[in-house]
A and B are shown apart, each in its own frame.
Chain A
Amino acid sequence: AQTVTQSQPEMSVQEAETVTLSCTYDTSESDYYLFWYKQPPSRQMILVIRQEAYKQQNATENRFSVNFQKAAKSFSLKISDSQLGDAAMYFCAYRSATNDMRFGAGTRLTVKP
């Protein structure tokens, strides 16, 4: 079974600085998708960024980018120019070719003004 590990329960960053959230996963499949979701206090899950495993190029969405290392099974999220609104729980997720999605334990990000 696939597992997703987020080893940082909490992270803190100063406003306007950069922070990196870590995620590793375990799988025997070659075709899969990886995601980062944000869950603010409202608890609505918001997609931040996604990466297809067959793509070598790292995904980027404005201030959010990933470092996808397929061989190492690592998928970290970098948030640049952090804003107060970035404060939330961040979940790394893996979607297998068989459709189900698994989540990591989450990282609570605090942004200090």
Chain B
Amino acid sequence: GAVVSQHPSRVICKSGTSVKIECRSLDFQATTMFWYRQFPKQSLMLMATSNEGSKATYEQGVEKDKFLINHASLTLSTLTVTSAHPEDSSFYICSARGLQGTEAFFGQGTRLTVV
């Protein structure tokens, strides 16, 4: 299957700072990328969907000013957690799908810890 690389895999940041997570499709053009949040022992909750060159569509309850998503190219999407707080600590996963793709391919995930 196609490869999606997510970086960093782990990050610890201080409360009040911002952290950026990158999601790259390595061998295909990702026209659509998805960002999920996963709490311990829970399912993946869709945060937002982004199409290349367009503004992201956020799910209800997700603060767009706090979770900034950029999808400026067909191979890269970024999620920036702004003014992070301990309650933002979680596992964040991206996935990407090509124009004709049926399934989405997942990155390795990023464990964010805000101290």
- Contact partner of A44 (CB less than 8 A), chosen from B34, B43, B106, is B106
Question: Which of A13-21, A64-72, A74-82, A99-107 is the interface stretch?
Answer: A99-107
The distance from the CB of A33 to the nearest CB of chain B, in whole angstroms, is 6
A50 to B106, CA, bound (A): 15
The interface bits of chain B over 13-52 (1 if a CB of A lies within 8 angstroms of the residue's CB, else 0) are 0000000000000000000101000100011101001000
Q: Is A86 an interface residue (CB 8 A)?
A: no
Q: Chain B residue with minimal CB distance to A4?
A: B43
Whether the Cβ atoms of A99 and B32 lie closer than 8 Å is: yes
- Assess the B93–A50 pair: CB atoms within 8 A: no
Q: Does A25 lie at the interface of the complex (its beta carbon under 8 Å from any beta carbon of B)?
A: no
Count residues of chain B with CB under 8 A from any CB of chain A.
Answer: 20
A36 to chain B, nearest CB (A): 11
B residues less than 8 Å from A43 (CB atoms):
38, 91, 93, 108-109
**B residues less than 8 Å from A52 (CB atoms):** 102
Closest to B32 in A: A99
Cα separation A103 to B59 with both chains bound (whole Å)? 14
* B108→A44 contact, CB < 8 A: yes
The verdict on B104 contacting chain A, using a C-beta distance below 8 Å, is yes
User: A residues within 8 Å of B by Cβ?
Assistant: 33, 35, 37, 42-45, 47, 50, 52, 91, 95, 99-106
List residues of chain B with CB under 8 Å of any chain A CB.
Answer: 1, 32, 34, 38, 42-44, 46, 49, 91, 93, 95, 97, 102-106, 108-109
Extra contacts, 6 of them, besides A47-B103, A50-B102 (Cβ < 8 A), are A44-B108, A45-B106, A47-B105, A91-B43, A91-B44, A99-B49
